[in-house]
Amino acid sequence: MSKTAGNEHIKMLIVIGPTAVGKSSVLEHLLRDYPRLCDIITYTTRPMRAGESEGNPYHFVSEEEFKKQVGENRFLEWAIVHGRMYGTPRDQVESANTEGKVCIMDIDVQGAKKMMDEYPGAVTIFLMPPSMDALRQRFLKRGVTSEADLAKRLESAQKEMAQCQDFKHVIVNDDFDSAYAEIRKIIENILENQ
């Protein structure tokens, strides 16, 4: 039996794009505007940042705990992003599907490709910055630790952006309202056909 057997009809929305491009604002707006959407709280081994707490925006676990969960097949996909482990929990996605909800998630390009293999009905949106310079300004505003840190983030953003054509929709987040209006059309289409 193929690994996607039974998953073909399942719809979900995956938002991909470089850090600081605006993915979390998109997800926040979608959750506020569409009650049938369900946010997936993914797992990470990275340390919590100021203003974060357990479950917001991640389940924060040790590397040992993460590896244990990998061994128990608890992740639909997992990847190393910026040197830390991140994984999408199988149970949250499955219970959302059982409840007739549509999952939305913010994961990296590697994870999104694995989810597309597993769930052929997954709709993907790659959110693009208007320019590299705009992205650099967003990184600086968010706080970078050094020039090397900034360079590393810009390099990984460029690698991700080079893969944007592998995803169904590419939307430039120049003006948030117009980018969000395009995203609303996509999600409304998913919800009508689910």
Find the shortest distance in angstroms from Cβ 107 to ligand 5GP: 4
In the range 97-156, which residues lie near ligand 5GP by CB under 6 A? 106-108, 110-111
- Residue from the set 34, 60, 66, 86 that interacts with ligand 5GP by CB under 6 A: 86
- Residue from the set 45, 69, 88, 124 that interacts with ligand 5GP by CB under 6 A: 88
Instruction: Count the alpha carbons within 13 Å of 8 in the hemisphere toward its beta carbon.
Output: 3
Please give the backbone phi and psi of residue 134, each rounded to the nearest 5 degrees, phi first.
-65, -40
- For residues 77 and 115, what is the distance between their CA atoms, to the nearest angstrom? 7
Q: Considering CB under 6 A, how many residues would be counted as binding ligand 5GP?
A: 14
Nearer to ligand 5GP among residue 3 and residue 193 (C-beta)? 3
- For position 85 contacting ligand 5GP by CB under 6 A, the verdict is no
Find the shortest distance in angstroms from Cβ 95 to ligand 5GP: 16
- Residue from the set 11, 29, 46, 74 that interacts with ligand 5GP by CB under 6 A: 46
In the range 11-30, which residues lie near ligand 5GP by CB under 6 A? 19
Nearer to ligand 5GP among residue 20 and residue 102 (C-beta)? 20
Cβ count near 101 (within 10 Å): 18
On whether the CB atoms of residues 55 and 129 are closer than 8 A, the answer is: no
Please give the backbone phi and psi of residue 146, each rounded to the nearest 5 degrees, phi first.
-165, 175
- Dihedral over Cα of 9, 75, 16, 163: its sign: negative
Nearer to ligand 5GP among residue 83 and residue 192 (C-beta)? 83
Q: Calculate the alpha carbon distances from 97 to 84, 87, 94, 181 in Å.
A: 28, 18, 5, 25
- For position 92 contacting ligand 5GP by CB under 6 A, the verdict is no
The per-residue DSSP string of 128-190 comes to: E-S-HHHHHHHHHHH--SSHHHHHHHHHHHHHHHTTGGGSSEEEE-SSHHHHHHHHHHHHHHH
- For position 42 contacting ligand 5GP by CB under 6 A, the verdict is yes
Residue numbers of the site for ligand 5GP (CB under 6 A)?
Answer: 19, 42, 46, 77, 79, 81, 86-88, 106-108, 110-111
